[in-house]
Amino acid sequence: MTHPTHPDDTPDARRAKVQEVLDWAVAEVGVPGVVAEVGDADGHWFGTAGVADLEAGTARQRGEHLHVGSAGKAFTAATVLALEAEGRLSIEDPVEKWLPGVLSVAANGYDGNRITLRHLLSNTGGLFITGLAPEISHRYATRGALAEHRFDLWTTRELLELTVSQPPLAEPGEVFAYSNGGFYLAGAVIEAVTGNSYAEEVARTVAAPLGLTHTFVRPAGDTLYPEPYPRAYSGLFLKDGVNPEDVTAENWRSMFEEPGLPPLDTTEYNSSWAWAAGNVVSTVSDMLQVIRAFAAGTLLPEAQHRAMWTTVSTEGAHWMPHSRYGLGVFELDPAVTGGLTLRGMGGSMQGSHIVCVGTPDGERTITLHTNTEFKTWEVMFRAVEAAFGTPRVSGL
């Protein structure tokens, strides 16, 4: 593949530019610490800025175990697609086939005979935006609520009940709406099809084939990480007096605390509520291997690889700008990448944000992680600009 070039488009120049982005993220965006790993024809480069621990002042380092948030959705999608390749299911199967009665027009308004596994994995099933459910926001949306509920353990049954706790947003296939609930359902389908746990199937179909030695689905009761790991710091809290039930996909940004308040250490935290929607622990090095395999098609057979990267528009969904969504993954709009196809996955939760981007041939990749949650799309787009030589994206 031929990539865009300019006079200083060399590996060393690109790496220096990535380092500038890392330094900028700490100095200007307020990220406590950030790491990035770049893969290209010259091998791998690792960069860091800021700290892993605000109190101790220790630097971030290679090999840290991290929560990858919604990048775990790509693992769920890959597992479902691997099962399809084995002939055990089809992504065109209706949910009702594998989870009878879970989606019921009479009981909860959802038609399990019309919503398919493809709909779940592409966020087009018409499910409401589960992350904004009051049952979630009342537990985690304010500092006081998080202090009370940070070690709550969620069961699969509770997550499936949460998935259908509000009416559908749309008809199946009609719109893109980012819903953790679709991936909870996909995780339950994986277990119904195989008789194994979701974690076991992710290990069998993704981690083992790719030789990932530091990547696993986090056990439901875990509240810490294997050594080494960075401290996690969150400022993602609603303003005092805001009712979580008033938060919508349109207004959520304006409802959160103003910048400048001290972050809360959220390192010790039970993330079982994320489950098949994103409860994977990994390292930046392992995630670089994952995006290379997912983007280039070295894990899945051609038909399943093509299905993973068959995308839908996210326009109007108040999600990532300049993107289209596949099955658990995204592609950036070539209109803002200078015509270069760039594929990725990413995720954010309290105290952690990761983004992984690569070319379809797997020759150039980057993974970036901050030990705080998403703050601005500018971090990702500047890192992409530095790593791939794409144009500057404005208006973020």
Across 138-147, 237-246, 276-285, least confident range: 237-246
Question: 326-344 burial string, b = 16+ CB within 10 Å, else e?
Answer: bbbbbbbeeebbeebebbb
What is the pLDDT of the chain when averaged over all its residues? 95
Could you read off the pLDDT of 222-265 as tens digits, one per residue?
999 999 999 999 988 888 778 877 878 788 778 888 777 899 99
Instruction: Give the long-range contacts of residues 49-53, CB within 8 A, separation 24 or more.
Output: 49/19, 49/22, 49/23, 49/25, 50/22, 50/25, 50/26, 52/228, 52/230, 52/231, 52/371, 53/230, 53/231
% of residues, the chain, pLDDT over 90:
87
Average confidence (pLDDT) over 37-56: 97
Angstrom CA distances, 3 to 6, 341, 342, 388, 389, stand at 10, 10, 11, 8, 9
Q: How large is the average pLDDT for residues 104-130? A: 97
Average the pLDDT over each of 52-56, 187-191, 234-238, 280-284 and give the range with the smallest value. 234-238
Within a 13 Å sphere around the CA of 46, how many CA atoms are in the beta-carbon half?
11
> Which helix (DSSP H) or strand (DSSP E) does residue 187 occupy?
helix 180-194
pTM of the model: 0.95
Q: Which of 8-12, 65-69, 215-219 has the lowest mean pLDDT?
A: 8-12
